[in-house]
Chains A and B, each alone.
Chain A
């Protein structure tokens, strides 16, 4: 509930990647907004009538912004709803979700954007922004109504996990998108190479006898789009890169000052294709988990900033659609709740500094989507994530908040866990 009096979070490790702030101090909330923060906010300096709590030295960062998640509402409520996705997000420290348009019906009309936004306000405890479809019905044939979608408030255009195979459509969509100043987010996988494949091409796929997708399918589409970006001047983001070759292409495009950014998901920096093990369908994702060399390249790219954004790629699938032979299983894993703890591995392993890691889940996705979030700022809504950096725990899929339980990290030992999440100053999760 919203407090009417000021409230302070004291004795926290304040972390704000946007300003490289890492200092012990407190944060004062008034009327749902951040009133003040810094080392000077202590029990002695609080205004009259303010309540407070001690954070035990835990990390207090801006609430996470998840740039890529599937909320399944409307149309696929048996897998997830705005309400359950919101609970999962809150438990994972995520205060803003970018909802992808792969719903039923597809979000390719302005009226649906408004419907989704309203449902989110009514039922979801965290903020939801919406990405509109790039092509009508996600069919990859005709451009969606970018202008009307933009007027309705979408933050980006994307066909989600449907890669756009028609190069001319992509060319026109990129060109057209520049009129609205919104990014185009792509699934980078050349569809004619990926069709029918369920694993990355390599030793494991060969031994297991599974139809595979060559890793170059990713680089081919990335290279293709980079040339279209150079021609059109569009803002382009690769949603979840997983291969060394594609990341090298991104490096070159950034050197050329193109408006290109890259993302990945926790499973691509934390897991490799061996995870499929005994045909575990919960390890089936799109693009597929890659060989170890590629996984290490993803870690390297997060480290050197080639990858700007880590998003959950949260894609709930019902148990029925995973309890089938591997090749028949639907791809996708849930991830809202585990995005931060899984990614903290990169910090605990000494690969990435804490602020740099948090940047990929706060200010970087907020900038990509052009939304006012992901940083600590006076006068802005108190969307916050309080986490215990050291807490060891074991993932138990059945205990996760999502309606679907298809996590790739069931049984994994993780270090670091969210203890409290606030949206607009209101506590939406507390452990």
Chain B
């Protein structure tokens, strides 16, 4: 890890993938790779961020992402404070900017924010003096998810460039999809979007992807099949008529997977709706499913983000 030139990473915040370069992404993944090994060992703790304060500010319920950021911070030696919406003063009517100013006065070094409004992390970043990491904003981006997906793919396939990646499901509402589309395009992969017309933006092609409304066509010869979570409230007649129809048309099962490459890798950002977007037979098959590995990579990638974003403060 010492031979990596971390100083090339010139960002204060990680707000979206779209503003990263291919070099930035490669560096993040390379640094993360080192942390994967560290996390597998008996002693997982480092002191890189000793004395630093990381605040996880979650305006939206999350267990996995928050825990993953928490583990990443703790393993690097930071003091981690979790602040969730139910215990915050937001319920008392405080605006996002007021919350930001209050937290800023406590001199944190990193703010990790998740918010249901697209662009909330960007607003926060303008008002605080420390690094801000977007842990998911509305339907906009979820950059660390795309990075952990990329690391998983790179581990399994050895590269990102030239791969055909099919992202399937509710593209319209998905921040995971937007971050992945951006990252995969930057890294030279071929992106396909597969989903019902009602769950794809009408101008989806302009995102730099091919658009399909049939799994059979969209999955043909794909190297990677990335399933997205479908919110239950969107399946009851509004965007999709019913769960059974959705699974029939777009749920991933062995039959639909047949057209993909024989060694195709299945991914899902979790939490899964078994029997809605993915069949258990596939989700639990460790030969084709990388779903558990994604979670493991998540911690390493977040450690890499914390590492690179606090370089300035550390020096």
Contacts and interface: CB of A to CB of B under 8 A. Distances in A.
Given A141-B237, A147-B248, A148-B244, A176 B202 contact: no
Contact of B197 (A136, A142, A176): A176
B245 interface: yes
Nearest to B200: A175
B249 interface: yes
A326 interface: no
B241 A147 contact: yes
Contact of B241 (A142, A175, A232): A142
Determine the interface band of chain A, counting residues with CB < 8 A from chain B. 10 to 19
A143 interface: yes
B242 interface: yes
The winner among A143, A148, A178 for most chain B CB atoms within 10 A is A143
Interface string A161-198: 00000000000100110110000000000000000000
B198 A172 contact: yes
A147 B249 contact: yes
B73 interface: no
A148 B248 contact: yes
B237 A179 contact: no
Nearest to A139: B237
B215 to A, nearest CB: 11
Contacts of B242: 145
Interface in B68-89: none
A146 interface: yes
A135 B242 CA distance: 12
A148 B238 contact: no
User: Most chain-A Cβ atoms within 10 A of its Cβ — which of B196, B245, B249?
Assistant: B245
Contact of B245 (A147, A178, A232): A147
Nearest to A231: B202
A179 B196 contact: yes
A14 interface: no
Contacts of A179: 196-197, 213-214, 249
A136 B202 CA distance: 25
Nearest to B213: A179
B315 interface: no
A206 B237 CA distance: 41
A329 B237 CA distance: 33
Given A142-B238, A143-B237, A176 B249 contact: no
B169 to A, nearest CB: 15
Contacts of A231: 202
A265 interface: no
B236 interface: yes
Nearest to B242: A145
Interface in B219-249: 236-242, 244-245, 248-249
B241 to A, nearest CB: 4
Nearest to A135: B237
A129 interface: no
Nearest to A151: B248
Contacts of B196: 176, 179
Contacts of B214: 179
A258 to B, nearest CB: 16
A144 B236 CA distance: 10
A179 B239 CA distance: 13
B235 to A, nearest CB: 10
A148 to B, nearest CB: 5
Given A175-B197, A175-B198, A136 B237 contact: yes
Contacts of A135: 237
A231 B196 CA distance: 16
Interface of A: 135-136, 141-148, 151, 172, 175-176, 178-179, 231-232
